[in-house]
Each structure stands twice: as C-alpha cells, then as structure tokens.
Amino acid sequence: MRLELKGLTKKFGSFTADDDIDLVVEPGQIHAVLGENGAGKSTLMNMLYGILKPTSGEILIDGEPVSFSGPGDAIAAGIGMVHQHFKLVGPFSVADNVHLGREHTLAGGVLAAKAARQAVLDVSERYGLRLDPDAICEDLPVGVQQRVEIVKALSGPKTELLILDEPTAVLTPAEIAELLDIMRSLAESGTSILFISHKLKEVQAVADTITVIRRGKVVAELEPTASEAEMAAAMVGRAVTLQVDKTPAEPAEPRLEVKDLTVVNAAGVKALDGLNLNVHSGEIVGLAGVEGNGQTELARCILGLLKPDAGHIAIDGADVHHHDPARRIADGLGYIPEDRGRDGLVTEFSVAENLVLNQYRDEPFAKNGVVDAAAVRKRAVDSIAEFDIRTQSPDEPAASLSGGNQQKVIIAREFSRPRRLLVAAQPTRGVDVGATEFIHNRLVTERDTGTGILLISSELDEIYALADRIAVIYNGRIVGEVAPDTPREVIGRLMVGADLGGDADAETDPRTRPDDDANGGDR
C-alpha cells in the first residue's frame, strides 16, 4: 500500500488541530511521526483510521482518493491501528477482545471459543507477544494490555498499513526490542507502518524517514541519521537538554518504611512477597523491574487503595494501616499513577476540576463547604501556563486532551501542593521530550527541598538519570539495592532473577502466560 495525505486539515470550531498536512508512506516503509503532546499526531491518525472526518484535504491509497465513514471502512481497506488509549472491554477476556466484531462461530451461531483462543495463541506466539487468551483484560497490567492491542491489530484481515500510536509507551525495554523487531519484519514483508513515538532512540533504530509536526503543521522532514538533539529541537522549537543535571543527594530521616509487605492476588499468587523498602527525605529511590513483578501492587498499597495481607507501611514514622487514601494524601503523600485514565483522572470532569481533585475540600478552593469556582479556575489558568498543558480552555473535559497533556494535568496537580513523600509511577509515560525534561527537573527540585521520592519506571534510562539509589524488584521482592553507576547488565540480571538461582523467567506475571492445559471450550 502507498499512502498519501494531501492538505489534510481538521478543525474543531475555531481551533485547528491539523493544518494542511502533506505526508507520503511508501510500501514497506516505516514512517515515524514526531511531535509534542497536542501537536496533532493522534488527530491525524484518527482521520486516517476513519474515527474523525477531515475538514478538508484528501487521503489517497495507491493513488486513489478514499473516504472512510468509520474504522470498519479503514480496516476493510487494509489499515490497522494500535491506539494510544486502549480500546479494550475490561470485563472481557483477551480472546474476546481480540476477536470482538469478527467472532469465530460454529453452526447455529455458537461462539467457537477454542478457535478464538487458539488464534490468539498463534498470533501472539508468531510475533513474540505472549498472552493468556483467557485472562480478563481489566486485571492485566497496562504493559500486557498494550500487547493485547497489538495482537488485536495483527489478527484481522491482512493489514497493509499499520498505525502504531505511541505503542511502546507502556512496554518494558525487552518488549520494546521485540516490537521493533516485529516492525522491521512486517516492513520487510511489504507492510507500511506509521509509527508515532516520543522515544527518539526507537525512532533512530527503526524509522526509514521522519516527519515532525509542531502545533498542527509539518515543520521538518528528517532522516533517521539525525541526532536526538536535532529531532528534539524540531519537535519543541528550541534546544532541549537531554541529560538531568543534579547534585549528590543528601538523604535525611525516613519518609517511607515498608516492612514484610505481602499481597496475594486474585489468582492466589503472591504479587508482593515479604517486600522491604525504605525511602528517605531528600533522595530519589528508583524501583527497577520488569512490569508485572509487584510494582503496581506496591504503589496501591502505599496510597491505601489496596489492603496488604501482611506487613506494615509507615510514613514519617507513623503506621498508616488504618488510614484511607484521603487521609494519606492530606498528610503529605503525592501519587502519580501508572494508569492515568483509570487512577489519575475523572476524564468526564473539566481540566480545572481534575487539577484540584484531591484539594477541592480545602482552602482556597472551598469556603464553608462550598467550592469556590473562581479559585479553582485561577489554579487551572496558572497550572496550564506553568506546565504547558495544551488545552483550548480550563473547562474542556480531560477526555479531550492528548495522552501526554492528560499526564501533565496529573503532574501539575501533584506538584502544586505540599508533599513529604511522592510515589511517581511512570511519571513521563507518553509525554514528549520537552515535558520529560521539565518533569525530570521538577523531580530533582522536589528531592532537594526534602521530599522523599519513590520513582517506579520501566525506563532504565529514566532510573539511571534520576535515582540516587536503585532497588530491583522481582517476583514481589526487593532482590537487590545498587548504586546508580552499577552496570546495566547487573541490574538486568537482577530484574529477571538470573542471579537468584532457580528457574528465572522475565515474564513473571502468570496472567501473561498461556495455560497449555486449559480447555477453553466452546460456549
């Protein structure tokens, strides 16, 4: 397939999201599209996939103009898409989600569950994206949910053009390497790929050509030999510092003490297995590990969203076992969740409302129990300017923002109130290089003012850049604490349990493993 976009424009009222975009994707080409959060990348892809109607301009496939009234038309034309925001039905199984709308059936319309299950196993095995077809999607870590989306896009009719909108934002380094290999293999077989990413190293590694969009306009066409600094400057419109500048930490009193923490998940497996961890005032402790080894459960236990089966958590020396999340937040706990859509925002609420979700009862945002709308709006206007949140209005619903700008709303909310301890889970997931630079510098500033920070990140680069001490989690336990100058090979081996003896497996979450003995009968 040869794809050509001519003068593609999309307006929402007086706001122009994409302005006269020209772009060509040749057969078998990996064409990367770079841009800041809110630059118009996802809007462009949604027009190509039939979700949005262009205001003007043309889409041509093999030289012929096409018009899509919905995603079904795009799929029929050979276009598949992995969305930045997951399009999964949470209570459904992996197999049900992958085949939703194109179900396998037997005579009489009975669902052929065995065939659907086997199809998922075949596709996931072929592309190195291991999945349990019987797992319930809402119970899976976000990294595994992303795998479901990719397998779903590759499971339909022959896909000649694959759109990948931030597909690596929630993947581990090993999973990213596998996905890049998959992309190369698909391109070699003739599949065209549109690849949207904020991760410049990935773009350099896999792209054949690069288009940079800034504020809805194409501003540069680059070769993959361009440096990261050149790409970042084209995206943001200024020079970007890609290294974190920080002085040595000066840790003081303990802010967080976790002792013998144990959590048994719904599958009867210990998600946390006697975990011990301390974070002191004035330090950033980086938690490194393959996703699915207990990071999510640890963060939720600290916030009070999940009750541990055993063990203790103390903040500033006080046991918080009986404190609900509101009490912990009021006492100075900040939380940046890994899943912004589920745990960080009420997407139907406005940007302004989301910026005070954990303070709307407090002065100056409430007086005598009544919300002060003027004070809430002032906070929103100030935060939008300070954190460069790309929104048309403070009254715009958070759901309408790009993923990176939704993340900025959460960052702004947590950094705009007093804190003593901050749990930052994947704080730069899905944000552009300019915003990443800003967030990293703010985290270091927070550390220097005495906040204790637990940084949970699947990005080893981020851990190395920010952490004063690195704790490695594997199978729900801290299996090592190392200095930030420790070689990557050492941390990598700890992350997969290679130095612990026994049968180590990087995919430790049982929900990612197929159960070869399961029947998966028809229903």
Cis peptide before 133 (omega within 30 of 0): no
Return the pLDDT at 510. 39
CA angle 166, 128, 146 (to 5 degrees): 30
Looking at residues 436-440, what average pLDDT do you find?
89
Residue 175 has pLDDT above 50, yes or no: yes
What is the average pLDDT score of the chain?
A: 87
> What is the enclosing helix (H) or strand (E) of 301?
helix 295-303
pLDDT of residue 257: 97
For the ranges 138-147, 231-240, 412-421, 432-441, the lowest mean pLDDT is seen at 138-147
Q: What's the token pair of residue 160?
A: 């000649």
Of 335, 345, 343, which Cα lies nearest the Cα of 423?
335
Q: What share of residues in the chain are helix, strand, coil (percent, to 5)?
A: 35, 25, 40
pLDDT tens for each residue of 343-380: 899 999 999 999 999 888 888 898 888 999 999 999 99
pLDDT confidence of residue 54: 95
Cβ pair 219, 231 in contact under 8 A: no
| 430-451 per-residue burial string, b: 16 or more CB within 10 A, e: under 16 | bbbbbbbbbbbebbbebbeebb
Sign of CA dihedral 505, 506, 510, 512: negative
pLDDT, one tens digit per residue, over 313-354 is: 999 999 999 999 999 998 899 999 988 888 899 999 999 999
Whether residue 515 has pLDDT greater than 50: no
What is the pLDDT at residue 423?
A: 97
DSSP result, 419-434:
-SEEEEESTTTT--HH
Q: List the strands of the sheet with 161-165, edge to edge.
A: 79-82, 161-165, 192-196, 30-35, 209-214, 217-222
CB of 203 closer than 8 Å to CB of 210: yes
Question: In the prediction, which pLDDT does 499 show?
Answer: 66
Residue 211 has pLDDT above 60, yes or no: yes
CATH 3.40.50.300 fits 3-236, yes or no: yes
CA trace torsion 350, 354, 357, 360 (10° rounding): -50
Residue 519 confidence (pLDDT) above 70: no
**CB-based burial, 401-427: b 16+ in 10 Å, e otherwise:** bbbbbbbbbbbbbbbbeebbbbbbbbb
And the tokens for 116?
């659907």
Partners of 335 in the beta sheet? 423
DSSP letter at 159 equals P
Q: Could you give the percent of the chain with pLDDT greater than 70?
A: 92
Q: What percent of the chain has pLDDT over 90?
A: 55
Tokens representing residue 52 in the block: 């949005």
Q: Which two tokens stand for residue 103?
A: 């179900």
Mean pLDDT along residues 283-299: 92
Chain region(s) in the chain for CATH 3.40.50.300: 3-236, 254-332+418-512
- Structural contact between residues 130 and 138, judged by C-beta atoms closer than 8 angstroms: no
Q: At 459, is the pLDDT very low, low, confident or very high (cuts 50, 70, 90)?
A: confident
Residue with tokens 């979450």: 509
pLDDT grade for 516, boundaries at 50, 70 and 90: very low
Residues in Cβ contact with 367 at an 8 Å cutoff, skipping those fewer than 6 apart: none
Q: Which architecture, in CATH terms, is 254-332+418-512?
A: 3-Layer(aba) Sandwich (3.40)
Q: Which residue has the higher pLDDT, 163 or 404?
A: 163
* Listed residue (391, 385, 383) closest to 350, CA to CA: 391
As a whole number, mean pLDDT of residues 424-432 equals 87
Q: How far is CA 349 from CA 345, 355, 415, 450, in A?
A: 8, 10, 20, 33
Residue 485 makes CB contacts below 8 A (sequence gap 6+) with none
506: confidence class by pLDDT, cuts 50, 70, 90: very low
The answer on pLDDT for 311 being more than 90 is yes
Asked if residue 173 has pLDDT above 60, the reply is yes
Span between the terminal Cα atoms of the chain, in Å: 38
| Structure confidence at residue 109 (pLDDT) | 67
Q: What is d(CA 496, CA 92) in angstroms, rounded to the nearest whole number? A: 30
Rounded Cα gap, residues 164 and 194, in angstroms = 6
pLDDT in tens, 45-93: 999 999 999 999 999 999 999 999 998 899 889 898 888 778 899 899 9
Look at residue 48 in the predicted model and tell me its pLDDT. 94
Nearest one of 456, 382, 400 to 425, comparing CA atoms: 456
